[in-house]
Amino acid sequence: MNMHEIIRNRRRELGLTQEQLAGKLGVSAPAVNKWERAGSYPDITLLPVLARTLGVDLNTLLSFQEDLTDQEIGMFLNTLHEAARAEGFDAAFARAEEKLREFPGNDRLAYSVAVLLEGLLCGGPEQRQEEIGALYERCRNSADPQVREWAVHALAIRLLKRGELDRAETLLEALSDTHRGKRETLAALRRRQGRTGEAWTLLERELFDHAHGLQTVLLKMIEWALEEGDWAYARLLSDRAEQAGACLDLSDYAVLSAPLQLALAEQDGPQAIRLLERMLRSLASPWDLSESPLYRHLLTKDAAGEAQTPLISLLLDEVERDQACAFLWELPEYRALLQRWRTP
């Protein structure tokens, strides 16, 4: 953590404005603003009083003290958990405060400590809850975008539990759509708001996306197994991918991707063409997701985000470009398939 970040973070943690910090140091507010933007640095004569005002030592202020690694943070969290079990929550909290004073600019540490302490507290005194909330609030302003998103999501969950639905929604709207957990938390919010249909739709879409994500991981595992020459393991993975896709009510296009990958690797032309035919039919056919008990509120493939028409051309283009499919190109059955599906 650089000096300008330490000054900014500690000032905010102490609840001071730039003007208030400037007043304590006998400098102007624009000077403090420049320090926090790394536009200039405090005069050397100011460093001792600045360190005392911010509650840090000179080594920390000057960034001489090395920061904690993620591994070291994990080890400290284990120690903290053991302290809570052996000595009680207050002892663990005291150790956490000591470590946070030692590394005042480490937002990953602050967030990780907040998560652990909140889990250990399980409700508990309101004062402790507020102190944990203050750690999340600090991390909400972190320069680390990942920590910032984690903290915003944690605060939204806390507000949701307290019934502060409007504030929770404001925080959730600030999260990126790629944040893991956003959709599930938003579903819980919609349910609390009485918008049950929207809540179910969000959860079902989450399941649908996770199901496809599972297939993607299994396809990569099959690819690696084939590269390593482990055909038995590749077949096992292909079977499991097909079973999982069927169990999660995915389309044939998704369910058969793994068996097709294996058939191409084995250069089994008839099997590959049978699978391609089924996949193309799946892409061309309307698919009412509401027929599945898992996706009753998604209704159609388009509503689930799986557009169809472009995928037919993309699949055929890929087969015609991929050298692994070259053994298919001269087969009469393959040429017939192309004629059927390339016809405008």
- Domains of the chain, each with CATH number or no CATH: 3-61 (1.10.260.40), 198-342 (no CATH)
Residue with tokens 């402790």: 128
Q: Is the pLDDT of residue 53 over 80?
A: yes
Res 289 pLDDT > 80: no
The reported pLDDT for the residue numbered 124 is: 67
Can you give the C-alpha Rg of the chain in angstroms? Answer: 28
Q: C-alpha angle 133/137/138, rounded to 5°?
A: 120
> What average pLDDT does this structure show over 68-75?
90
Instruction: List the beta bridge partners of residue 300.
Output: 288
Contact between 160 and 168 under an 8 Å Cβ cutoff? The reply is: yes
How does the average pLDDT of the chain come out, rounded?
Answer: 89
Residue carrying the six token digits 């005194």: 125
- Tokens representing 61? 């202020």
Burial pattern 165-175, b for ≥16 Cβ within 10 A else e, equals: eeebbebbeeb
pTM attached to this predicted model: 0.70
More confident residue, 322 or 309: 322
Task: Kindly indicate the confidence band of residue 222, based on its pLDDT and cuts at 50, 70 and 90.
Answer: very high
Greater pLDDT, 298 or 243: 243
Predicted pLDDT of residue 310:
74
What average pLDDT score do residues 120-144 get? Answer: 86
**Do the beta carbons of residue 138 and residue 106 sit within 8 Å?**
no
CA–CA dist 22, 30 (Å, integer) = 9
pLDDT surpassing 90 at residue 200: yes
Please give the pLDDT value at position 301. 54
Distance of CA 335 to CAs 189, 208, 263, 316, 320, Å? 53, 34, 18, 12, 11
- Give the SS3 label for residue 288: strand
